[in-house]
Structure 1
Amino acid sequence: MANLNKVFLMGNLTADPELRTTPKGTAVTDIRLAINRYFAGTPENNDRQEETTFVDITLWNRQAEIACTYLKKGQGVFIEGRLQLDSWEDRQSGQKRTKLRVIGENLQLFPRGGGSGDSSAPRQQSGGYQQQGGSNYSAPRSGNPGYPPQSAQGPVDDFGDDDDIPF
């Protein structure tokens, strides 16, 4: 039987990320996302209900650096990653503890607040480009005419009009 461990999350940061480094110099940051879910209420009370889930995410290397450079509290982000179960023994009580977290492998930034954005935050566009190390993040495009690099721009459409689509 095949196994799959893949998570896709979209939400808003609950705090500004803080960059740390391991003793060997690897960049790491932990972020927390607030993910809202909206649903209809009970049949008697059909009001719109809201539920918020908080998820802890660990980012490593370049993704951690990007998050600390561009993300701020309240900003939207899309994370692609995998689940990891951490287990340890509590020093005070001696009990075994576990925590399920997401290890972020790709990250895509969105405008702050999901709408008009904050003038101090970089503007983002959908459809990021691939960084070395697998980071898929949308580069800030306003205010930096040389960004993204020429090699990072999307593919050229060589198919002509819609009647020539090869399928």
Structure 2
Amino acid sequence: KLAGDHKNVVHDLIELQVEDPNVRDLTVVDLPVIAHNPVDDQLKDIHKQTTNLIRKFISQSGSVILCMFPGNVDLATVESLSLAREVDPSGIPMIGVITKSDLASNHDILVQQLLMEKCDEQKLTLGFVAVHNRSTYEKMTLEDASKHEKDFFHQHPASTIAGWHCLGINAAINRLAGCMF
């Protein structure tokens, strides 16, 4: 509703507060995908709007960025990584989350990304994790999705080479939790 009927970008935050005495305070800001081509009635400068909004949040001190991108893209083409480098060339705290890891064309490249072994790729201060989420079309419970992801990675070569510390949603949660101390 905030963005109207035109799929536009607004700078207003939608806040969701979860209170639990057993967990640390955390603010999560879900930023839009970097749009390049306006669709329907979007403004013509949608790319500028989305990148400016992202810059606004990633330049705030104390931020930890979860940079998400699918496993079937070349890291050199991930614009959000370029934006982060632009904001802080020395490396702002960032975790690269490789989604759709089943689409990675080459298991060796996925492992190299997870271990940051390729010298021509960006090194992230907090490393990479790969996840295998359910699609919106799959009607799975969270428990079933978690089991499905574990089964996927048990059969994946990355589990023996890269290790479980960088595989799965729990690895991403643990990596993020480690930043909060």
Q: TM-score interval w.r.t. the shorter chain?
A: under 0.3
Q: Which has more helix, going by share of residues?
A: 2
Q: TM-score, normalised by structure 2?
A: 0.24
Q: TM-score, normalised by structure 1?
A: 0.25
Q: Which has more strand, going by share of residues?
A: 1
Greater relative CO (CA pairs within 8 A, separation 6+): 1
Greater C-alpha radius of gyration: 1
